[in-house]
Amino acid sequence: MPEKAAHPEVDVEQRTDHLPPYRVLLHNDDVNTFEHVTASIMRLTSLKLEEAVRCTLEAHETGLSLLLVTHRERAELYVEQFASLGLTVTCEPDE
């Protein structure tokens, strides 16, 4: 008879589904080009060209665009990664 594992494996995605959601927000600036912003969004997220362009335009026109919703640690990582590319991105609880 096989022994049961002391610590059953838990899917990481399943665990993160239970964490409080955080919004990752792109802010407009007068420094970066549309091309740089769009390319950065596609580089750092899973958004495709059309979605990245939409977010870039929305931030340009309204000052802010929602890029994605994820858990806090990942949202904070996105903030750091975008900052390293010269873009202003913040995160906040998705209430």
Q: How far apart are CA 52 and CA 48, in angstroms?
A: 6
Report domain 20-93's class: alpha beta
pLDDT of residue 7: 46
What pLDDT is recorded for position 95?
83
Strand partners, 71: 21
Interatomic CA distance for residues 87 and 32, integer angstroms: 7
> What is the average per-residue pLDDT within 70-91?
98
d(CA 39, CA 58): 15
Report how far apart, in Å, the C-alpha atoms of 62 and of each of 36, 53, 65, 69, 84 are.
Answer: 18, 14, 8, 19, 23
Query: Cα-Cα-Cα-Cα dihedral of 45, 42, 26, 31, to 10°?
Result: 140
Say what the pLDDT of residue 15 is: 56
Q: Which two structure tokens, joined as six digits, stand for 50?
A: 């059309």
Band the pLDDT of 8: cuts 50, 70, 90: very low
